[in-house]
Structure 1
Amino acid sequence: MSINIMGASGRGETEQWDVAPLPQVMIEPLVRTALLEDLGRAGDLTTNAIVPANHRGRTALVARQPGVVAGMDVARLAFQLVDPEIRVDIRKPDGSRIRPGDVIAMVEGNSRAMLMAERTALNFLCHMSGIASSTAAVVDAIGDARARVVCTRKTMPGLRIVQKYAVRVGGGSNHRFGLDDAVLIKDNHVAIAGGVAQAVRRARAGVGHLVKIELEVDTLEQLDEALELKVDAILLDNMSVEAMAEAVRRVDGRAVTEASGRITPQTAPAVAKTGVDLISIGWLTHSVGVLDIGLDHAPS
């Protein structure tokens, strides 16, 4: 995907989103598991055979594409779990807009350790930056519209916390983190319950008073029923832009409105103009491309 780093919002390449970093205790198990998967039973055979044990080096994390950086703390942890003495000097923190050739960070220390951690660090950094960049592309596309761009639960197993963090870094927001966050009544729930009213009634009886209830609707007729039931949020699933606009008019602020269904940076502006509160996009996490970043040897 092509990323416009000076989009409709007019944000510059150096602007950063104010997003709280993930605590190390949350990301360390992911990074440690990835390193162990890569090192296997014998470690890095290539590096151990070629690079002297005491050799020290200097490398640079360099952008190959324009986009938004996300995952620097994760990448740094990959290097430092292999060797705590490796120094990572971050030049472009998470949220920074970058261009090809930009140095994102300088890495210095034991050369063996750097090469052992290289692929794990880049796997996280490129993937998370790809998510942040794609999110930013949609956010830029809708400009000053009131809608917020949100991700879904369509995440890669085990990576949800870092993927949803990357969405926030790109200027988006998060939908549910899991099934225990809120109630989202979908078509299968309605079918098993025997109707929308029955499903909503059972949900209200089965959860606490602080839990929000969202109902998925496909038609304006279902929307009218949802409004009578006074749910907290309504998911407008795969509706046309015209139907969405009518739905927002009928809701008239009585519930949060969420648009969903194969929304792209090209179609998002029209969706945002309907006045919906949220635009949810699954591909931001389930099938987004990476942002190309490399680790280059930097002679002293």
Structure 2
Amino acid sequence: MSQEEQAVGLRSEADEPGWEVDPDDEWGVAVITTVGRQLKLRREAAGMRAGEFAKAVGYSEDMVYKIEGGKRIPRQEYLIAADELLNADGLIAATWEDVKKVRYPKRVRELAKLEAQAVEIGVYECNSVHGLLQTPEHARAVIGAAQPPYSPDDVERMVAARLARQSVFDRDPAPSIHFVLEEGALRRPIGGTIVWRHQLERLLEVGRLHNVVLQVMPMDCDTHSGLDGRIELLKFADGTAVGRADGAFNGRPTHDPRRLRILELRYGTIRAQALSPRESLAFIEQLLGET
């Protein structure tokens, strides 16, 4: 690929939705403003005009001004190129660890932090495939179906956040993760046939991981303790835990031991009523064959 083609590619990537700064995210605004200011100071110290710098890194001059002004989240490629061009010895490139988190809504960052620390994760999901299990295309279809609709920028921001949480599967040591999904949700071909086939394949892939147990709640189980909605339980290495359920305690997260025992009882009952892990994977394979 020529230098000109690379530049065009970078510009088009930079203009994609999902890279705007959320003005209501104070921490995110502070991070992007600080990074932008440092980029501008280093560029000016190197004696480079914005247009000259833009051409060198393969972005438009307007995009450089937006990034330096804290109005646009820089991509990792931009930070790496700027680091090399300004001889920053990795200091600019290293800001990506904080910059990448700014794309994700605040509440999702908080959830991802908890999931990244948990040694056990248990989830009962009633209406859809859980976010930790969704493919990019499926996530985009689910989020894009909301009413009133999200803006394209918000959709991409939320999809990126959902996918970033899936790094929990790559942790070492691996956490113990358990999912129970409703059969009805697995029969709804969200996004169309091809997208849904990929989603079912993803479920089989994750369900076969050594640290993951995936179960399906069959529709012929006429009643169970999850009918009030989703249940989530996270346990940590220090013995603490947090849980929430749509139908308990106003849906708010709880650390109270008494309330956690109630959620654990409900979740344990749900697991007992669901298909076994072996039966569940066989059921998903059957759905895939029918799709």
Structure 2 length-normalised TM:
0.30
The answer to which structure, 1 or 2, has the higher relative contact order (CA under 8 A, 6+ apart) is 1
The structure where strand makes up a greater share of residues is 1
The structure where helix makes up a greater share of residues is 2
